[in-house]
Amino acid sequence: MRKEIMSEPTANHELTIHTSSLFDSKNKRFHSDFTIIIDTKTGLITNVKRRDNNSLPTHNVSGPNVIDLRGLTVLPGFVDAHTHIFLHSYEDVSSINQMRDESFVERIVRATNHARAALDAGYTTYRDLGTEGLRDADANFRDTINRGIIPGPRMFVATECIASSGGYEIRQENGLAGIGTTAPRISDPADGVEGVRAAVRRRIGAGADVIKFYADYRKRALRFPQPAWKGAKDVCFPPPDDAFTGQRSPNVILFTQDEMNEMVAEAKRSGAPIAAHAQSPEAVIMAAKAGVTSVEHGFIPSDEALQALKDNGTIFVPTLSVYHVVWGEEIVKTILHHVKAAYDKGIKLAAGGDTGALAHGENVLELELLAKAGIPVPEVLQAATLHGWEVCGGDLCGRRFGVLDQGFVADIIAVEGDPTKDIGALRKIRVVMKDGVVYKDELGNAPSVYKS
């Protein structure tokens, strides 16, 4: 049950949090003996100051308007930069069955559970990049959280993603009109410079915070279709299906450079960040040159693609978790090496796991995989906090988060252990606060100004 701040807890609505280890996401370092002051009426941090380490007694001093988090590691709430709130783990049900066969009601109910699980795991912000068959329902779902109807992360949503005709859609052999099964629309199709401009305008009008388009996709799946049901026969002599070079259903560029340029320009005119799904090096290069805020996936190793990201200041969201779920260890090892090369080149990384393909609540897997790639833990934590705010649009978000500093929102998590020594500490979430409201407290330290 959500814990709400009472309307008049104190005269000045001030809450004090004491820490012994505090992560500074701007400077990628930990500070000792800092105190955070929060205005519970606005949910904003009003001051962060160093204490004399002898100014407090050694025993827990939690009480009215005070939360003592000494002995834990305190960090900004995490941002998952690539999620799908209406999807659940592909290990349970395939994406096509979820999108085609699960009811609207079931998917909304599941999403409500997903939001709670994410918040419990320390994720106070979600950048949700496509409803996968539920049209613009993510905007309405976002608003239920913002209105305090259900608990969940702060959400920045894309509504439907934009793809060219036949680009991103459910592909099934039994789709003959009037005879076969039907499948929902899973993208907003648009073609030509004027068409894609109109599509961006439709997304903005539908309530999108962020625009997403598919720069490429494996759209030729029905040329050599895979067996899709028990007992189905495979086609004879299909081409190789290697993850990087396979031709059974290769990545196909969906837009021209002019079309990508126009989507970016229209998003910027509307004050919205823009993300590009891009897996092939060619798509990554085209999207980066167009000026997108971020490139999602980009898993195929390419020095030229990495250079394009670097040259254009594009944020890279490598979504390692989804590859961990669907592919084998050797493929993932190659992708991890590629992401480490991106880090070594100085490309800004944000952490998003394509969560939904894996269970909501397991989001920290992305941070573990970034660390496994060889990226220092403070850099991983910055990718999951400050860079998360930036990839959501930075000041376009209308609220600052991802940093524990004056003027930023009080999104605060506390974990047991030192993540620089054991990244697994990030799974030991003991306290979660979003916008100055405590949603999880395993220590029993929430002060009396809170009620269930």
* Angle in degrees, CA 437, 413, 450, rounded to 5: 25
* Average pLDDT over every residue of 2-29: 76
Pairing of strands 412-415, 315-317: unpaired
Q: How many CA atoms lie within 13 A of 338 on its CB side?
A: 26
Mean pLDDT, the chain, rounded, equals: 94
Cβ atoms of 436 and 424 closer than 8 Å: no
Q: Are 76 and 123 in contact (CB under 8 A)?
A: no
What the chain holds in terms of domains, given with CATH numbers, is: 4-76+404-451 (2.30.40.10), 87-397 (3.20.20.140)
Question: Which residues does 387 contact at the CB level (< 8 Å), separation at least 6?
Answer: 79, 81, 315, 348, 349, 350, 351, 402
What average pLDDT does this structure show over 372-390? 98
DSSP letter string over 390-404?
Answer: HHTTGGGGSS--SS-
What does the pLDDT average to over 110-130? 98
Distance CA 279, CA 164 (A): 16
Question: Region 411-430: what's the mean pLDDT?
Answer: 98
- Please tell me whether the overall predicted TM-score, pTM, comes out greater than 0.85 for this model: yes
Q: Give the tens place of pLDDT for each residue, 146-156.
A: 999 999 999 99
For the stretch 33-64, pLDDT in tens is 999 999 999 999 999 999 987 789 999 999 98
Element (DSSP H or E) covering residue 332: helix 329-344
pLDDT bucket at 450, cuts 50 / 70 / 90: very low
| pLDDT band at residue 449 under the 50/70/90 scheme | very low
CA distance 281 to 299: 8
DSSP 250-273: --EE-S-HHHHHHHHHHHHHTT--
Reference 20, options 33, 30, 36, 29; nearest CA is 33
pLDDT of residue 447: 60
Q: How far is CA 94 from CA 109, 231, 307, in A?
A: 18, 17, 35
What does the DSSP 8-state code read for residue 409?
B
For residue 3, pLDDT over 90 is answered with no
C-alpha torsion sign, points 243, 131, 121, 103 = negative
